Copies of this chain bind each other. A is one copy, B any other.
């Protein structure tokens, strides 16, 4: 019998959120971003990026932490690996850069779990696919999404120019218009997991 892997999720209220200095976006437009991607490709070859799915719960339903830039655009925390960098170590570095306090004694315990999806960019264009399309021998980017198993309590420091949102799976599902193809199909990719919704209010009661 193949069992579903289990994921413990804790209430949003068990985490503490502060802020830190702004993380300025490197590109001011999609065209700039694709141009920088091309320059980097000529120097370093295929871009590899990694992103983390951080889960919390509210009302016994899983929510994902997303970073919002401006009023509409949302992204997962993560980013581009350095040439040759290990995916897991690189994702920890990126998560700390986006969400950890500068103080080294407040670093979250990043436990990188299962890879849940891989997306490919065949050309210097915005379109990505969940497979490398046939006849594409030199994809321009490979992006991998990993589940991040959060501890029961953590402190997150959010860059001042970004907002951190906890978005429920039912809001992401079938909402490609708002969240794009990568984020809107995360509910399907997570559906194989069994969520243990741990409600630490019970723990608090036990302490009384």
Task: State whether B60 touches A134 (Cβ < 8 A).
Answer: yes
* Residue of chain B at shortest CB distance from A169: B131
* Residue of chain B at shortest CB distance from A192: B115
With A131-B169, A187-B130 given, is the CB distance from A192 to B2 under 8 Å?
A: no
A177 within 8 A of B: no
A118 within 8 A of B: yes
Counting chain A residues whose Cβ lies within 8 A of the other chain, the interface size class is 35 or more
Task: State whether B117 touches A188 (Cβ < 8 A).
Answer: yes
**Number of chain copies forming the complex:** 2
Residue A134 contacts which of B87, B112, B170, B191 (CB distance < 8 angstroms)?
A: B170
Residue A118 contacts which of B112, B168, B174, B191 (CB distance < 8 angstroms)?
A: B191
Please indicate the chain B residues that have their CB under 8 angstroms from the CB of A187 in the complex.
129-131
Please indicate the chain B residues that have their CB under 8 angstroms from the CB of A190 in the complex.
130-131
Task: State whether B131 touches A173 (Cβ < 8 A).
Answer: yes
Task: State whether B169 touches A118 (Cβ < 8 A).
Answer: no
Task: State whether A2 touches B173 (Cβ < 8 A).
Answer: no
Residues in A lying within 8 Å of B, measured CB to CB: 1-2, 4, 59-62, 86-88, 112-119, 129-131, 133-134, 146, 168-170, 173-174, 181, 185, 187-192
Q: Would you list 23 pairs from A and B whose C-beta atoms are within 8 A, ordered by A residue? A: A1-B86, A2-B88, A2-B113, A4-B115, A4-B118, A59-B134, A60-B134, A61-B131, A114-B192, A116-B192, A117-B192, A129-B170, A129-B173, A129-B187, A130-B169, A130-B173, A130-B188, A130-B190, A131-B170, A131-B187, A133-B170, A174-B181, A188-B189
